Chain A
Amino acid sequence: MTPTLLGRWQTRILLFLTVGLLLTLPFGLGWIGPGGTAFFAILFYLLGLGLGWDVLYIYLQKFRWDQDWPAAYQWLAALWEGLVIVLLFEAMAISLPGVDAEAFQLGWFLLHYMVVWVGIFLASQSLMRLLFLHWRFRGGQWL
């Protein structure tokens, strides 16, 4: 799938609020790790920041002749997006509503982020196509 900006936003919102939320549940409820609402809050920060990153990615796409976004770039973008969260809460120790930087546990964040990200990536590579026929022809727009 070669994304457009609207497609990126729609796909990101849908997958974070379904697959992302579902995979955050075990972390938030304490089945895995210490639990707490911070996992949900981080998910929403990832989503919010991500909507901004999408604008940057679409701009970068214009520098590629094919104006595409290889799967490998999705992973590089994921590394970057995760790194920003780590910088924010761990390195710069900034507390934001819902996330107390003092209580931020890097190890559990990394595990949570990895699980959510891999889940979203796999769903975007398979389930989205099966549920929404037009999705891949409209740059990721499912609505």
Chain B
Amino acid sequence: MATSSAPIRLSWQDPSTGEQRLPHLSPPIALGREFTHMPVDWQGQRVSRIVLNSGQVSRFHALLTWENDQLRLQDQNSSNGTQVNGGRQTDCLLNHGDVLEIGPYRITLLLRDDTDLGANRVRGDSVILIADPIPEVAPVTSAFPPPFFQSRQVNIQALYATQYPVEEVDYGALGAGLGSFVWVDLLRLCGVSPQQVRVIGLEAQPYARYQRLCLNSQIPAHERLRSNSDSCPDNIWGWPGYALREAWHDFTQGQLRSVGYRLWQVFAEPTFAETYTPKSGRVFASIDREATRIGWPQMYRFGRIRAIRQTDDGRYAIAYALGRGQYAFLVARYIHLATGYPAIQFLPDLQDYRERTQDFQVVVNAYEAHDHVYQALERQGGTVLIRGRGIVASRILQRLYEARQRNPNIAVLHLMRSPKPKGNQFQYARRAVSNHFELQPFNWPKACWGGTLRSQLEQAGPEERMRLLADWGGTTTADRGDWQRIVQAGLDEGWYQVGFGTVTRVEPDAQGCPLTFIQEMGLKGEIKLEANFIIDATGLDGKVKTNPLLDELVTHYNLPLNLAGRLAVTNDFELVEMRNHKGRMYAAGAITFGGPYAAVDSFLGLQYAALCAVNSLAQGRAPQLRSLHGWHSLAQWCKWARNQTP
């Protein structure tokens, strides 16, 4: 039994970043929105103050204390109250496994420390790096980049003196993924010639990595992405959107019913019709067409970037490896960083299981290649445990439903931390919920892309940004009719079950199958779940520290990170601390999350970041660049429509 000074563990998922938090704390514990409004001492004991940054949380919301060997919760007259296991409480005693709901935060209390949870690991290593398509064969030698890269600024002559090839251009895009593509596409539309642009990355197709993550998470070419009709990476105007193009295609095929349905969707979504989303294969095909049109292959250079440095003449030098011991430098005045998600987030207990057992087959992450799971299930049946309740979990469930058509002896257990009777609240609105899934057409409320919420976030200070992101964020899935039907059929037929609780540990049984030990909510008992496979569908990790290249850059130039641990950028997506005379550096994508824009990792978000960056370049009179407005914009669109070089 716990004694009056024993530490407890709180466990929750951060609603803005999706990270797992597992702090070990000694009560008294104060929970609230503002650090300074919570007491420093309580009855002579030092208080552990935990900030829950949300508009739904009061400045000092609740206090947890030991009282006669029992943990006591006292709500501090909070505006929105504290729920314990779904019921509102102002003063009560708490048990092991109870779930506190405070605003968008759902915090599980673990009083007995029999929990393994991989909690001793720092969160940072509970990720798996996204594998490179081409593994680096040659060992990373200390000879490259050369020693003079240790200095703050490098000399151009010194680069040439190394005898390695040096290319000098105006614009350099680092990453070569969709973020780079969208930026380069806009540069080309604004008049920059391909000779003045270089793109460095590991894959020639800008969507290669995105496509791989889609395929792994079971979205093949004919399945639909969670993206809007007018979020078109191949078309900055967003017109015609994918819905109109699909309708036109179906019209030429004589499928008139489908034409009508697509048009109705974009007209009435999301209130009167299911939100239109494009098929992944169509999106990739449209990017292929645009890549050819703008001369992407001429601008692309294969390479693994080793270091980014300022030069002493107001530019930047990029040192990169071409493989087989070959190296090169790129020198550019304007740099765009879009390296994407460095890692897949992995639940700590599952990461622990894999490390202990060295079994990478039965416990998998949804973003890893894991087709063997479905093949094995289709062959011999079995039970799958899904963790996480986002869009990936929905798609995995759909894939398992398809597997059940081939072998009905497949059962699915969906493990969630706590029930979800109602969704997040922001101002007057509340997010819809169905079968414990929070529903939202896209990964952020729609007004985050260009509406009221976008301008609100842009104007907010750093603390307030995190608060807004927590209120708007959280794990959601799309309200798709087929998914709703699958969940309902599964529940009715009994092959799909939802369980709630906190995983205390995962261990192999005698047959080598993973056994999940769960602390059920509000009950003192522990239950065991047996499964043949566990699929972790919790998400991707975008922390700068996880990416060795960015980590080195941040350390070398002492760059500030924002409160989400990503690169701190201005509203123009510039890294101002990297300014070098006329030289400018910009960033886009997941590495800028927590800044001026919420949906940074979406197609439209990448386009927004590119527009901001290119606008700022045009204001600074960057060479060859002409703002894309009015008739100039219309003329460029006509070239796009006719598939002519910009």
Contacts and interface: CB of A to CB of B under 8 A. Distances in A.
A72 B451 contact: no
Given A3-B451, A71-B266, A132 B238 contact: no
Interface string A57-74: 010011111111011110
A131 B633 contact: yes
A65 B432 contact: yes
B454 A137 contact: yes
Contacts of A65: 423, 426, 429-432, 440, 445
Contacts of B428: 62-63
B255 to A, nearest CB: 22
Contacts of B236: 133
B449 A137 contact: yes
B429 A62 contact: yes
B271 A2 contact: no
Interface residues of B, number: 44
Contacts of A3: 451
B253 interface: no
A139 B447 CA distance: 8
A58 B633 CA distance: 29
A133 B629 contact: yes
Contact of A66 (B266, B446, B615, B628): B446
Given A129-B238, A129-B239, A67 B272 contact: no
B108 to A, nearest CB: 26
B446 A130 contact: no
Contacts of A136: 230, 238, 450
A66 B447 contact: yes
Given A63-B428, A65-B429, A67-B429, A72 B272 contact: yes
A19 to B, nearest CB: 15
Contact of A4 (B423, B429, B452, B630): B452
A73 to B, nearest CB: 7
B237 interface: yes
Interface string A112-143: 00000000000001100111111011110000
A86 interface: no
Interface string A1-22: 1111000000000000000000
A2 B268 contact: no
A135 to B, nearest CB: 9
A131 B449 contact: no
B554 to A, nearest CB: 28
A68 B451 CA distance: 7
B455 A2 contact: no
B600 to A, nearest CB: 13
A139 B452 CA distance: 7
A137 B270 contact: no
B239 A139 contact: no
A2 B634 contact: no
A66, A71, A131 — most chain B CB neighbours (10 Å): A66
A68 B453 CA distance: 10
Interface in B260-302: 266-272
Given A62-B428, A133-B633, A4 B267 contact: no
Nearest to B189: A133
B441 interface: yes
Contact of B237 (A58, A129, A138): A129
Interface string B404-442: 000000000000000000010011111110000000110
B628 A133 contact: yes
B437 to A, nearest CB: 14
Contacts of A130: 237, 239, 633-634, 637
A65 B267 CA distance: 19
B634 A134 contact: no
A130 B230 CA distance: 12
Contact of B267 (A61, A71, A129): A71
A139 B454 contact: yes
B476 to A, nearest CB: 10
Contacts of A71: 266-268
Given A61-B452, A137-B611, A139-B452, A66 B633 contact: no
B267 A139 contact: no
Contacts of A61: 447, 451-452
B401 interface: no
A69 B427 CA distance: 17
A18 B34 CA distance: 51
A71 to B, nearest CB: 5
B52 to A, nearest CB: 21
Given A68-B446, A70-B269, A137-B611, A62 B239 contact: no
29 contacts: A2-B446, A2-B449, A2-B452, A58-B452, A61-B452, A63-B428, A63-B429, A65-B430, A66-B270, A66-B446, A66-B447, A67-B429, A67-B445, A67-B451, A68-B447, A70-B268, A70-B269, A71-B266, A71-B267, A125-B239, A126-B240, A129-B239, A131-B629, A132-B630, A136-B450, A137-B607, A137-B608, A139-B450, A139-B454
Interface of A: 1-4, 58, 61-68, 70-73, 125-126, 129-134, 136-139
Interface of B: 230, 236-240, 266-272, 423, 426-432, 440-441, 445-447, 449-455, 607-608, 611, 615, 628-631, 633-634, 637
